Chains A and B, each alone.
Chain A
């Protein structure tokens, strides 16, 4: 059973657009939701993370929106740039157990 479902699989936007990537989870015990960015040939890099006690978190051009009742969270990239072209993964975990479940990834292409 897939613990975290991510959509869309791929996304193409123009420079300056706001791509949105969505994730949904089943286990209500999850209490930590990070997003990772991965460039070809590199390991995933932690981008931003949120705990379920807040509904939104911003770091630079990256924003996480969190809907606890719907068990969904999403990543918004403001003023997207070609350098943001990468694969993005959402994940969920229970902090004290340190076991992470990853979404299937979204390949983002930001066109100049």
Chain B
């Protein structure tokens, strides 16, 4: 099976702009979770989507949003970018319930906000 893919891999934006990141999960996986990884804060959970519905949410401002499509692909959007949004954004897919196999991560999208 192909792994989790994320596009784009690298992105440079300026403050105030918005950005959309994309994640394609492993075939058959219905859950997609998004994480922000920074050197200072580590891996922080953004939100999880399961069957097109947001099921879990972390403690991020409303500028961070996401959605999931019927084919389980997911997008994450960040509006009004701030310098502090510079990070590696990771998505992870899993079966979504009674899941003892864990989450499988993509390579991430490195976002730099200037």
Point out residues on A near B: beta carbons under 8 Å. Answer: 32, 34, 36, 41-46, 49, 51, 89, 95-105
Contact = CB atoms under 8 A, between A and B. Distances in A.
Interface of B: 4, 31, 33, 35, 42-45, 48, 50, 55-56, 90, 92, 94, 96-108
A98 B48 contact: yes
Contacts of A43: 4, 90, 92, 105-108
Main SS of the interface on chain B? strand
Contact of A95 (B42, B48, B98, B107): B98
B29 to A, nearest CB: 11
24 contacts: A36-B105, A41-B107, A42-B108, A43-B92, A43-B108, A44-B43, A44-B90, A46-B101, A46-B103, A46-B104, A49-B102, A51-B100, A89-B42, A95-B97, A96-B98, A98-B33, A98-B55, A98-B99, A99-B33, A102-B35, A102-B42, A102-B44, A104-B42, A105-B43
B97 A96 contact: yes
